[in-house]
A and B are shown apart, each in its own frame.
Chain A
Amino acid sequence: MRYLPKSPADREAMLAEIGAASIDDLFATIPAEYQLKRDLNVPRQHSEHEVMELFRKYSEQNATGYASFLGAGAYKHYRPVIIDSLSQRGEFLTSYTPYQPEIAQGTLQALFEFQTMICDLTGMEIANASMYDGSTGAAEAIMMAVRVTGRSGAVIARTVHPEYREVIATYAQHQGIPLSEVEYVRDSGRIDLAALDAALGDDTACVLIQSPNFFGTIEDVAAIAEIAHKKGALLIVSIAEAVSLGIVAPPVEADIVSLEAQSFGVPVGYGGPYCGVIAAKEKFIRQMPGRLCGETKDTEGRRGFVLTLSTREQHIRREKATSNICTNQSLVALMVTIFLTVYGKEGIRELAEQNLAKAHYAATEFGKKAKLLFNAAPRFNEFVIETSQAAEAINAGLLEKKIIGGLPLAKWYPELGENASLWCATELTTKEQMDAAVKAL
């Protein structure tokens, strides 16, 4: 086997050194009845070329060469080439969690830069070194708010990504965190502020909204924060489309931000790995889940970085930890950091503005053939339309023209009917593709 660096003679010599007659001697502690006496029923060894060809086949069985208008929590943006050339360096790719900081300063400094950029972008004071993704990050943010406030309930906007809400329900079910949902206003797609106010009680730990929300609508974060804070609840803002932060004001009124940073240079990749991250006000630091990288000095006064405040974490605190999370998304956080460095202060604004322009053009053009919903509030790069036929039927027709249409919404929002769908345009969506889709509607 080509990954194994031993010759048959090495194996013999080593067994002799150990004093074992055969390799099976080393497995003698496994009771005989449980020893596998046959080959595993998995394929034979494949050459590197055969592996490449097999995966080329898998790849070809998937969509290639289609124009896609899908977003909904997974966004296709351009990934500068240096993201992979740098993150694929073996020193990043094949290093371990930086528990030995003297030989992990590369990873640690990059994480410190990541945390700083996330703070700048979200308007928060601290950020952790990543969570699995936006959905689990939102669930952990709610658990964090419960610990901070000593209250139990969470009020969630129905315009938070439906799969995020499913994950939250899974996490909350055995922790005594009652969940309730608040409807959206039909003309704007924004959370219903009066209903929100009514849903808040003395035991509400937090309000969770998403902005831009699942319909692409930008919420009035300040107004929501005021309502939440008046009742002593924290406001958590989930952001699924991170590029929006290039042009949309950060949710500074929030107490906790749960960001899915996939848009910053991470492949759409059939849904993962992505890069969640929790950012918050500094006063909540002790309740933050996950790893934190901090600056310090070495014994000779030189700047260095370490994983810190680990007494919050499972390997120290065990069942009393703030979360059970251990492995996070370090390498993906590095990709995000490189992406943000490439675009920088000006580029992230220009990029977001292009997304805004493309989606504005698309919404305007689609609006000529279909009904554009939720016009009473600003949107970023997604919009909802109501077509004259069922969204599924429209999409079936579009596939023939090598276009993957918008996401039908009836599964999660039956009240919008079979004809409603969610469309996304990023800087990579061309005018030609949009015009073709509109024409085919």
Chain B
Amino acid sequence: MAEQKFVGTPRKATTHVNQNEGLIFEKSSPGKKAYRLDELDVPAVDAGALLGKSVRKDYGSLPELSEIEIVRHFTRLSTWNYAIDLGMFPLGSCTMKYNGRVNEAVSRFEGIADAHPYQPESLSQGTLGIMHDLSQYLIEITGMDAITLQPAAGAHGEFTGILMIRAYHESKGNARKKILIPDSAHGTNPATAAVVGYQVQNLKSNAEGMVDLAELEKLVDEDTAALMLTNPSTIGVFESDIHKIADILHAKGALLYMDGANMNALVGKTRPGDFNVDVMHLNLHKTFSTPHGGGGPGSGPVACKAILEPFLPSPVVVKKDNKFALDYNRPQSVGRVRAFYGNFGMFVRALAYTLANGYDGLRLTTEDAVLNANYIRAKLEGIFDLPFKTRSMHEVVFSDKLQSKNGVKTGDMGKRLIDYGFHAYTVSFPLIVPGAMMIEPTESESREELDLLIDALQQIAREAEENPNLVKTAPHTTRIRRLDETTAARKPVLRWKGPEQDGLTRDTPSKEW
């Protein structure tokens, strides 16, 4: 089979057996059980008598199975996933690095996992201590003055940071009207500005894909609240004019917000606070190795300079008389952005990561991440078009310009990479690069794994020349092929509705396998 499906030879991937598995609802039979409750030590109650008309009668299609069937169901599903634990995830902007397992172990210690958010502070010195210590280290790493851990993800951190910027301007008597956002930015940036009631003004990048200082100078005025800047930018390049950018903004009273999505390129080598960023968020699920979990949970702490400190969400952790406490007396706070204190379990993991690395490990991590990206760039430049030539940091952005003349697009090559045993790189982002192929290896890849990726992409480039159709119809070795996303969106089926009404689920999956 493999001979017909490849021009070259995939070195990493081989045939993988995985099992068919229906939906959990299709496997259910009445009367099966996977639970047994404790013996009730208080008198039983008549729910109907206690709840009256509020008592529940119908339970829909909730499944009934035994424990072994449940274990097999989810284990089989798991084998259909690609994961960092299986190999490299070269997704640009996503920082898919190794998730240390000790982080998982310590997050399950009883005093941590079972801590109730409202238990007395005297019995929460450990959890408050974790928040305090992580906060101190993140402040040092970013070079900022203060921090909140409350935001639940990167976009939530952006929301918090822009709220603080707004509160700062309001305290000066004018909230201002607009936020400047480069055309290379993540989609969350403009969406965030809108939620905080700001107009979005697009900032065009210059020929190198960087902030155009002349354009910036033209656009910044007394109505500008802030610039939201990703640094290194989404093309993986450090904004060398960062101090001039900050100066232009500050001269007009505007602030500099940094999207810290790419912080993995900077830790231990430079600090945003030192290059005049006013407020930024971190993604603990990127830079600080908390697991991505198939799309979350994340955590998006926001660090800021002293001028913004009064506006941090309430509460903040403080240390008084050698005890940790929560300070709710924050009259200028933007308010609360999430119940309780944020995704606390992610703080535990991020702190464990920081301690395992230490100052020298954090720096070496950054250096390896940048070394890996530049190695890939050196090996693949010429095989793929490199639209911007400035020195890369932790990621490199190629384009499909050379391959698209044969009709092979970035998305096709991303899918084809799956056949070679990898996850796709980030496809078609940033938007300023037509046909973008954005590769971020992170520090977690050995030279051997990098060489396998490079080899795979070289072979794919050859296939794009010799048998473009093979690439355009990839992937060929996965348990399912490309999915009909148009029908999925046109006639959305978002839940299982039972075997009767459901034409789609009638066929057993993957017959051919």
CB distance from A88 to the nearest CB of B (A): 6
**A376–chain B nearest beta-carbon distance, Å:** 12
Contact segment of A146-154, A193-201, A289-297: A289-297
Q: Judge if B42 is at the interface, Cβ distance under 8 Å.
A: yes
Closest to A173 in B: B335
Measured CB to CB, the nearest residue on chain B to A68 is B116
Q: Are B56 and A247 in contact (CB under 8 A)?
A: yes
**Cβ–Cβ contact A395 & B120, under 8 A:** yes
Flag the segment in B92-100, B211-219, B399-407, B462-470 that touches A: B92-100
B500 CB–A CB distance under 8 Å: no
Given contacts A35-B270, A399-B120, contact A90 B85 (CB under 8 A): yes
Total A residues in contact with B, Cβ cutoff 8 Å: 198
CB distance from B139 to the nearest CB of A (A): 10
In the complex with contacts A269-B113, A309-B492, A357-B44, A348-B59 CB distance below 8 A: yes
Question: Shortest CB–CB separation between residue B481 and chain A, in angstroms?
Answer: 4
Stretch at the interface among B124-132, B247-255, B301-309: B124-132
Asked whether A180 is an interface residue with its Cβ less than 8 Å from the other chain, the reply is no
User: Is A178 on the interface with B (CB-CB < 8 A)?
Assistant: no
**Candidates B42, B371, B510; contact of A26 at CB < 8 Å:** B371
Q: Are A248 and B54 in contact (CB under 8 A)?
A: yes
A106 to B127 Cα, complex, angstroms: 33
Q: Which residues of B contact A163 (CB under 8 A)?
A: 336, 339-340
Q: Determine whether B479 belongs to the interface, using a CB cutoff of 8 Å to chain A.
A: yes
CA distance A105 to B61 in the complex (A): 22
Binary interface profile of A, 347-373, with partner B (CB < 8 Å = 1, else 0)? 111110110111011000000000000
Q: Given the complex, which residues of B lie within 8 Å of A4, measured CB to CB?
A: 361, 364-365, 368, 443-444
Give every chain B residue within 8 A of A250 (Cβ-Cβ). Answer: 56
- A51 to B355, Cβ gap below 8 A? yes
Give chain B residues whose Cβ lies under 8 Å from the Cβ of A346.
33, 64
- Inter-chain CA distance A267–B436, complex, in Å, is 41
Other-chain residue from B78, B295, B344, B391 in contact with A86 (beta carbon distance below 8 A): B78
Q: B186-212: contact bitstring with A at CB < 8 Å (1 yes, 0 no)? A: 111011111111001000000000000
Nearest-neighbour CB distance to chain A for B167, whole angstroms, equals: 10
A378 contacts B54, C-beta separation under 8 Å: yes
Q: Which residue of B lies closest to A380 (CB)?
A: B51
A28-41 interface mask toward B, CB cutoff 8 Å, 1 = contact, 0 = none?
Answer: 11110111100111
Report how far A353 CA is from B47 CA in the complex, Å: 7
| Given A63-B123, A270-B340, A100-B424 contact (CB < 8 Å) | yes
- The 0/1 profile, CB within 8 Å of B marked 1, for residues 164-177 of chain A is 10110111011110
Q: A1-B360, A106-B77 are in contact. Are A6 and B61 (CB under 8 A)?
A: no
Q: Taking A170-B163, A324-B155 as contacts, is the C-beta distance between A100 and B414 under 8 angstroms?
A: yes
Query: A299's closest neighbor in chain B, by CB?
Result: B481
| B379, closest chain A residue (CB) | A17
When the two chains form their complex, are residues A361 and B187 in contact, meaning their CB atoms are under 8 A apart?
no
Chain B contact residues: helix, strand, loop or mixed: loop
Choose among A70, A94, A291, A349 the residue that contacts B116 (Cβ–Cβ < 8 A). A70
Contact across chains for A344 and B127 when beta carbons are under 8 A apart? no
A93-B83, A342-B35 as given contacts; A105 in contact with B338, CB under 8 Å: no
**Stretch of A110-118, A202-210, A225-233 with 4 or more beta carbons under 8 angstroms from chain B:** A110-118
A343, chain B: closest CB distance, angstroms:
5
A101 touches B99 (CB 8 A): no
Q: Are B492 and A61 in contact (CB under 8 A)?
A: no
A26 to chain B, nearest CB (A): 5
Of A84, A268, A302, the residue contacting B114 (CB under 8 A) is A268
- From residue B112, how far is it (CB to closest CB) to chain A in Å? 5
| Contact A292 B78, beta carbon cutoff 8 Å | no
Which residues on B sit within 8 Å (CB–CB) of A305?
A: 483
Task: Give the residue among A28, A163, A294 with the most B Cβ atoms within 10 A.
Answer: A294
- B480 at the A interface (CB under 8 A): yes
User: A40 contacts which of B141, B155, B298 (Cβ < 8 Å)?
Assistant: B141
CB closest residue in chain A, given B31: A346
Q: A247-B51, A269-B113, A272-B345 are in contact. Are A96 and B94 (CB under 8 A)?
A: yes
- Chain B residues with CB below 8 A from A84, complex form: 108
Contacts of A171 in B (CB 8 A): 195
Asked if A417 lies at the interface with its beta carbon under 8 angstroms from chain B, I say: no
A82 at the interface (CB under 8 A from B): yes
A to B contact number (C-beta, < 8 Å): 688
| Minimum CB distance partner of A82 in chain B | B71
Q: How many residues of B contact A (CB 8 A)?
A: 205
Q: Is B341's beta carbon under 8 Å from chain A? A: yes
Residues of B within 8 A of A136 (CB): 152, 156, 337-338
Bound-state Cα–Cα, A84 to B105, Å:
11
Given A92-B293, A270-B112, answer yes or no on A86-B444 (Cβ-Cβ < 8 Å): no
Closest CB of chain B to A59's CB: distance in Å?
Answer: 3
Let me know if B35 and A117 touch, CB within 8 A: no
Residues of A within 8 Å of B24, CB to CB, are 113, 341
Q: Is B493 an interface residue (CB 8 A)?
A: yes
Given A6-B446, A218-B54: A130 in contact with B296 (beta carbons within 8 A) = yes
Residues in A3-49 with C-beta less than 8 Å from chain B: 3-6, 10-11, 13-15, 17-20, 23, 26-31, 33-36, 39-46, 48
A294 to B496, CA, bound (A): 10
Report if A103-B478 is in contact (Cβ < 8 Å); known contacts: A134-B339, A348-B59: yes
Select A95's contact among B75, B82, B191, B479, beta carbons within 8 Å: B82
Taking CB atoms and an 8 Å cut-off, the chain B residues in 32-49 that contact chain A are 32-35, 37-38, 40-45, 47
A293 CA to B488 CA, complexed, in Å: 9
Residues of B within 8 A of A349 (CB): 56, 59
Say whether B375 contacts A14, CB under 8 Å: yes
Q: State in angstroms the CA–CA spacing of A13 and B45 once bound together.
A: 73
B3 contacts A by Cβ under 8 Å: no
**CB closest chain-B residue, reference A431:** B41
CB distance from A391 to the nearest CB of B (A): 12
- Which residues of B have CB within 8 Å of A96? 89, 91, 94, 96, 292, 294-295, 423
Q: Is B435 an interface residue (CB 8 A)?
A: no
Q: Among B32, B338, B363, B393, which residue has its beta carbon within 8 angstroms of that of A29?
A: B393
Chain B residue contacts of A438, Cβ below 8 A: none
Contact, CB under 8 Å: B335 / A170: yes
Q: Which of A33, A57, A64, A295 has the most CB of B within 10 A?
A: A295
Chain B neighbourhood of A88, CB < 8 A: 104
Distance from A388 Cβ to chain B, minimum over Cβ atoms (Å): 21
CA distance A86 to B24 in the complex (A): 15
Interface residues of B in 227-281 (CB under 8 A from A): 237-238, 240, 242-243, 267-271, 274-275
Beta-carbon nearest neighbor of B506 in chain A: A303
A135 at the interface (CB under 8 A from B): yes
> Which residues of chain B are near A249, meaning CB under 8 Å?
53-57
Given the interface contacts A51-B356, A321-B187, does A357 sit within 8 Å of B43 by beta carbon?
A: yes
Instruction: Report Cα–Cα, A84/B465, bound state, in Å.
Output: 47
Is the CB of A306 closer than 8 A to any CB of chain B? yes
Besides A3-B444, A95-B81, 10 other A-B contacts (C-beta < 8 A): A36-B269, A39-B268, A80-B34, A100-B418, A107-B81, A116-B496, A285-B494, A295-B493, A324-B159, A360-B42
Closest A-B pairs by Cβ, 4 of them: A271-B340, A331-B293, A120-B60, A90-B85
**Sampled A-B contacts (11; CB under 8 Å):** A1-B356, A29-B390, A58-B129, A82-B67, A132-B338, A135-B338, A164-B339, A268-B115, A302-B507, A351-B35, A404-B116
